[in-house]
Homo-oligomer: A and B are copies of this chain.
Amino acid sequence: MTRSFILLDMENVMLEKRKYQIIFDYLKEGIQTKKYGVDSYLPSENEICNQFKTTRTTVRKALDELQKDGFITKEQGKGSKVLERRKSLGLLTVKGFSQAVDHKVKTVLLKRPSEQQWDPSISFDLTSDEEESKCIYFQRLRYLDDQPVMLENNWYAANALEPMKANEFVDGSFFKTLSQKYLIEIMGSEQELRAELANEYISDNLGIKQGAPVLHISVRFKTSKADLNLYSEIYCNTAMVPIRNSYFL
């Protein structure tokens, strides 16, 4: 009696994770590392059942979570298909950035990631962990049709993630790099929006007049790594083209 109790307890300590969580993690990693490529299908529910010696209920729980997190979509009669990118989380896009057919898009790294002091211009309160750490800062300028439209200042805690090397950026995207090389996902964001008049520094970078209206966006992105947030202060010239975002259940 005592012995079986100890064994059960051991099992819980050893396993720790729920069975569906193990399957979820296994499949998620497979997607992030491109073992299961975009538009391909995961193994069928019954195959996963056999592989993990479990029942469909448990496998379906894992797949439901993957679907909720935007990694896959299910197609009745066909299978679970890997999606291109996760459900957009209110990520800001310049109108036309996605319909890239008739627009040229370019991102220039003005300042490559390097260790600095936190900047007081960040609009959000830092966590106590972050305040104790130094930070990594990098700056980018995004172009649409050779016209600069977004000036981006980005910070994150140095003790949460090493400074990314400039040549390491996957497709020039910080988020793609996080997902594919570090297996870290964006879990949500908070934004503050302001309309301001461009000062000299902003107007120089965006190639507009001083005093022209600019959209100032402050964002805190929360990630699946508990101690890693990304802070961005973004200035946009919305005269040519508005900034878009959308969200759906």
Interface residues of A (CB under 8 A from B): 57, 64, 68-70, 87, 89-90, 95, 123, 187-197, 213-218, 222, 236, 238, 242-249
Contact = CB atoms under 8 A, between A and B. Distances in A.
A238 B189 contact: no
Contacts of A187: 248-249
Contacts of A57: 57
B195 A196 contact: yes
8 contacts: A57-B57, A89-B247, A89-B249, A189-B248, A193-B236, A193-B243, A195-B213, A222-B248
A188 B247 contact: yes
Number of chain copies forming the complex = 2
A44 to B, nearest CB: 21
Contacts of A70: 249
Instruction: Report which residue of A190, A197, A213, A248 has the largest number of chain B beta carbons within 10 angstroms of its beta carbon.
Output: A213
